[in-house]
Structure 1
Amino acid sequence: MKKSDIDAIVDKIDKENSIFKNKAALDVLRTPKRVIGRNKEVESLIRFFVSYKQGTIPPFVSVYGRSGSGKSTLVRFVCESLDDIALCFVNLRSAKTLFECANLILSELGAEALPSAKGLGAVVLAIKDAIASYLQDAKKHVIILALDEFDMIFYDKRNKPSDFMYKLVVLCEQLKKEKNYQLCIVGISNNVVSEYDLDERVRSRIGNSEVYFPAYGYEEILEILRMCSKEAFNEMDDVILQHCAKLSSQDHGDARRAIDLLRVGAEIAGAKNQALSTKHVDQAYAKLQNDRISEIMSRTTSQFKYVCRAIVYLSYIMGLEMAHTSKIYDEYKLIAPKESQLTYRRISEILNDIENTGIVTSQVHSRGRHGYGKQYKLEFSPNFIGPAINSVWWDNLVKMKKQMEESKQYDKEKKLSQSI
């Protein structure tokens, strides 16, 4: 390949992107200029944060809701709009252990990571010093430590997440007492933190400061798309935005996915040198569904995958449209290694996590005198989910189903021949 070939590729991509006026306006990580449909949640966050004026800022605030409901974006928006407050925003997605979580916090605070030999206690002390330096440089006395994907800390089974949370909350007390600095930790996750296994010393300290973000509705997503498209495109047919909003509101009200849908649809149209239409949006929707499942499976835990495998097996092999929690748990125990199998309660929590990703939906059903339970249903075809979990396992599952169908057909033909 020559330089002229490179230049030709660049020209081609530039032509494809000419459909955009400002593609950066569709960056889902960008803090918005204004907030749509989240006035109640914004006010709740502000009430918690500005209580520092009375010296009573909560040590921990749990921000929870489905993916794409605006949690991370709104926390950033509020904190960046409050002049007296410093923000340190940390995404814990890549962390596999509590020590890695602590080092990610240190890194975002501008401090050097510590080797694991130092121990978790040493890293937490380093975080305290780093926060003090951070506030001193910012010339402020209040800091919000926002921990996105906060539930990652509960996946570390070698250490004790409850102890780590206790150490973080104690930091709030120490900084106030020693430096007169006020620290509020914001845990951003799909589930309320109080649902996790925490000991009483942690529960008593974090209280019940919570902000729930419901899924966006159709009208809210449409308004968000209209706001973004005005900056991103020279002109836009509102029918296309309505189609994006309709698909996204049906797909658990994920505003982030709606913006991605519009962007990818435009990229597909640009690559074909065509005007953007609902046809391109549909093609983008199919592409994003596959990408979404692959992304979820690539960054999740082995236990999450075992539970997904159980659900796929029950759907694909057993032909169950809906599966009870108990049925899924029984199948999980046949799949997961015995030495690492989790309790029924923990599997129920993982099922909630899976539902929050949109892979499954649930419905509550009556079990008579045994109370109420949940049934789960796949939202995607097993043909999408299976290969993303484990391609070798999925290939074997396909072979198994084929053999079962051939065996049934043979039995059916045998019975027919005997009856003649």
Structure 2
Amino acid sequence: MKRKSAAILLTCAMVLSLAACGNKGDTKDDSGKSASKEKSGGVTLDITTTFAGNDTNAQNFKDAVEGWQEETGNSVNDSSATSDETFKARVAADFEVGSEPDVLFYFNGMDSNSFVEAGKVISIDEIRKEYPEYADNMKDELMGASPVDGVNYSVPVNGYWEGMYVNKTVLDAASVEVPDASTTWDEFMEDCQKIKDAGYTPVAASLAQIPHYWFEFTIYNQLSPATHNVLPESVDDEHGKAWVDGIGDIKTMYEKGYFPDNTLSGTDDETFQAFLDGKAAFLIDGSWKLGGIEEATDDIDNFTVTYVPAKGDRKATDIIGGLSSGYYITKKAWDNPDKREAAVSFVEYMTTNEMVSKFAQTSATALKDGATVDESQLSSLGKSGLEMVNGITGIAGAVQDQIPTECRVPVFDGMPNLVTGKVEIKDAVSEVLTLIKDYTPEESAQ
């Protein structure tokens, strides 16, 4: 049975009610697609997105691109890639040398500040001067305004949540119950020890390559939804101490042997495979990983997703999530009369009510009418994700999104040194904060 997935529209208010308003009947059809302009064929757009690799929507994106090409006669030069620091550096470099794409599906936080400040992407308001119906099926307040000027530049599709995926076979072998909303951090540590004693790896994570999920939640455990996104002023203030103590918990987990043997050298793909193969019990990742698990196993009922155990003021049901990415139209495309029309057409096609619902499923959207989810089509893992999100009590965005990529290096790249004691955690956090203070976005935009 289909229903509106209002509870999964993640905002600071936690749960949004369904909007009663519909689309403007004279400008959009029932799917939320613009019917105001005819599209001309023969244009090739350079498109870059994060819909690649084992992203849940990689195939959905390919299918949608084919549909748009068939409908318009235009074509797409797709350079999408899995989102990681290398991808972000590549995108930033493309903008710096004038090789940016025409349309970019990218982050709307700190990572895009340099593009905004350099005037290389076009605001929604500017686009609406020529295309009044552009993104009018979205709630403007949820579209992810830029921290630079509070203006909307990107049109979101699916938002995200972060949770803890579970391999139930491993838990059964160790006589451990699946963590739930009431599981405390201390209880979780006890479970990890039981899993280790049973001969399995408690936590699948590459601290060498992808340390940021544990960085987020161990810090979150020192704070609350209202304070998680406050950057420390110094290493000795409340938030600085939270960072130090949170990373300290990761160090403790490493010392107890709760991470894979190759956590300091292995890749994220390797540790993810260990989780799939029943060698590791827990995996913190985002909602986008759900589809990757579905595609990688023939036994989806063996997997579930639940809350990350909590301590302090944070409840386990206080999660990290939001609408952190969207489609940008670059100034490069906007200043080209042929590409302007095609770029608008492409984003409109990708952000109809129907398309957003297909991409979003159990994640967040900015749709005025909410995403329509056919639960009968969800796997057991998908249903557990929907159940988890429907039970949230608090929401905070990822604090890393407020940290320029270059400034994360002492902690993110340096995590192996921190957990092994080669570098003091307090010194690394202090270095990050100094880099943030000295950071000049103008230099990145050049």
More helix by share: 1
Higher relative contact order (CA 8 A, sep 6+): 2
Same fold, TM-score > 0.5, yes or no: no
